[in-house]
Amino acid sequence: MRRAVEAARAVGRTLPNPPVGCVVLDAEGREIAVGVHRGAGTPHAEVDALQLAGDRARGATAVVTLEPCNHTGRTGPCTQALIAAGVTRVVFGTTDPAEGAGGAKVLLEAGLDVEGGVLADETDELVRFWSHRHLHGRPFVTWKYAATLDGLSAAPDGTSKWITSQTARRDVQAFRAECDAIMAGTYSVLADDPRLTVRDAADLPLPYDRQPLRVVVGESKIPAYYRVFDRVAPTRQIHSRDPHEVLAELQAEGIHHVWLEGGPRLAGAFWGEGLIDRVIGYMAPAMLGSGRAALEGEATTLADIRPIEITDLRMVGPDIRIVGTPGRMPREDMDTPIEEPDSEGTN
C-alpha cells in the first residue's frame, strides 16, 4: 500500500479527480505492475495497472489507495475492470466518499476477497483535498500568510513586499501547486497588483501544467490592466462578503482546494466563520512594532482564542514555517471552563 501511495504522490496535482495508486501482486506477493491516475479523462489507477499487467492479472491481488469506483463517468467502473481481469483479491485504503462509492460491495458480491482500511491514515491524507469537498460540501481552504515575529504583515504605510526571504517565497510555490483556486480580497489586489499564479513551475518537485483559477473577492472594481487579469490563468471576481456564499460558488464550479492569501480582512472573515482548514505561516526574523496584523477579527478576550494544532515546524532559509490545523471554534467550547492563571502577569 505504501508503494501505491508513493506512486500516486509522484504524479502531482490531479484535481478535480483524486490521486490514486494501484499495485498488482502475483500469488507470491511479487510486484507485477504499478498504475496511477493522472487526471480527469485518463485511465483510473486500477485500469492503468491492469493494462500493464495484462494476462498476469488473473489470480492476482490489487492494492489500491482508494476504494475501486462503481461509477461510469468519462471512464467505466474500476470494479468491472478488476472482475473482468480475473483479479481475486482487492486491498484498499480509503473508502470512496463520492458518487463512485459501493465498489467494495460489488467486488464482494462477485466473489472477490476484499479488505479495506489498510494504511488509512496515509491514504486519507493523500486524498484529503478531494474527499473534503464530498464529505463537507465545500472546498478545503488553506490560509497562507507571512509576518514578522510580532505578527505584522504590513508596515504602517501599507508596504508588505517582501517580509520573508526568497527561499520562503519559493517554498510557497510548491504548496500553491496543490490547489485549484488562489483567492485574495480586492483590497490586497488593488494594493499589491499580484499575479495570483504558481510561479517557477519548472523548479517544482512534482509535474505541473495547469494554473489554478484566480478568485478575487469583494465589490471594488479592479482595473482591467492589473496582472490578475492577464492570460496566464483564468480569473473570477465574486462580489460577495459572505465566505459561505463564496465557497458555495466555488463548490458549484467543482473547486476542491482554495489557497487563501492576500488580505487580513478576508482571512479574518473566513477564520471567524470556521472555514479555514489549514494554516501555513511564514515568520520572518524581524520586528515591525506597528503596522497591519496578519489577521483581522472580532476577538475581545482570551476566551475567544481558537487553538491551532501544529503539524509541521521547520526553518525555511532564515524564516520559520509553521503548518497547523485549526481547532474547534470558541463557541463550540463554551461549556469548557477557562483556567485562571496561578499568579499575576501574562501566561
Q: Is 160 annotated as a binding residue?
A: yes
Please indicate, yes or no, if residue 254 is contained in any of the structural domains. Answer: yes
Please indicate, yes or no, if residue 338 is contained in any of the structural domains. Answer: no
Same domain, residue pair 203 and 323: yes
CA–CA gap between residue 57 and residue 259 (Å, rounded): 41
CATH code of the domain covering residue 24: 3.40.140.10
CA–CA gap between residue 68 and residue 82 (Å, rounded): 9
Q: Is 78 annotated as a binding residue?
A: yes
39 by DSSP, 3-state: which? coil
State the DSSP H helix or E strand holding residue 279, giving kind and residue range, or none if neither.
strand 278-284
pLDDT band for position 340 (50/70/90)? very low
Please indicate, yes or no, if residue 340 is contained in any of the structural domains. Answer: no
Q: Of 110, 132, 154, which residue is a domain's last?
A: 132
* Domain total of the chain: 2
Q: Is 162 annotated as a binding residue?
A: yes
Q: What is the mean pLDDT of residues 28-47?
A: 93
pLDDT at 48 over 60: yes
Please indicate, yes or no, if residue 341 is contained in any of the structural domains. Answer: no
CA–CA gap between residue 75 and residue 47 (Å, rounded): 10
Same domain, residue pair 202 and 267: yes
Q: What pLDDT sits at residue 209?
A: 76
Please indicate, yes or no, if residue 268 is contained in any of the structural domains. Answer: yes
When mean pLDDT is compared across 48-57, 124-133, 187-196, the lowest value belongs to 187-196
Q: Is 264 annotated as a binding residue?
A: yes
Q: What pLDDT sits at residue 331?
A: 59
Q: What pLDDT sits at residue 228?
A: 92
**Most confident segment among 79-83, 202-206, 262-266, 292-296:** 79-83
Q: Is 68 annotated as a binding residue?
A: no
State the DSSP H helix or E strand holding residue 59, giving kind and residue range, or none if neither.
none
Q: In what order do the strands lie in the sheet with 278-284?
A: 235-238, 213-217, 181-185, 257-260, 140-148, 278-284, 319-326, 308-316
CATH code of the domain covering residue 184: 3.40.430.10
Q: Is 206 annotated as a binding residue?
A: no
Q: What pLDDT sits at residue 336?
A: 47
Q: What pLDDT sits at residue 307?
A: 87
Q: Which three cell numbers stand for residue 33?
A: 505492475
Same domain, residue pair 314 and 183: yes
CA–CA gap between residue 228 and residue 175 (Å, rounded): 19
Same domain, residue pair 56 and 194: no
Q: What pLDDT sits at residue 308?
A: 92
Range of the domain at 243: 138-333
Contact call for residues 65 and 83 (beta carbons, < 8 A): no
Share of the chain above pLDDT 90, in %: 64
Q: Of 104, 132, 160, which residue is a domain's last?
A: 132
Q: Which three cell numbers stand for residue 175?
A: 504548496
Catalytic, 46? Answer yes
In this predicted model, which residue has the larger pLDDT, 297 or 103? Answer: 103
pLDDT at 121 over 70: yes
pLDDT at 344 over 90: no
Same domain, residue pair 259 and 195: yes
Same domain, residue pair 178 and 327: yes
pLDDT band for position 332 (50/70/90)? low
Q: What is the mean pLDDT of residues 192-206?
A: 83
Same domain, residue pair 206 and 226: yes
Q: Is 265 annotated as a binding residue?
A: yes
Same domain, residue pair 142 and 284: yes
Share of the chain above pLDDT 70, in %: 93
Same domain, residue pair 48 and 160: no
Same domain, residue pair 89 and 115: yes
In this predicted model, which residue has the larger pLDDT, 344 or 275? Answer: 275
Q: Of 132, 160, 179, which residue is a domain's last?
A: 132
Same domain, residue pair 152 and 258: yes
Q: Which of 6, 28, 31, 46 is catalytic?
A: 46
Please indicate, yes or no, if residue 190 is contained in any of the structural domains. Answer: yes
Please indicate, yes or no, if residue 347 is contained in any of the structural domains. Answer: no
Q: Is 339 annotated as a binding residue?
A: no
Same domain, residue pair 248 and 187: yes
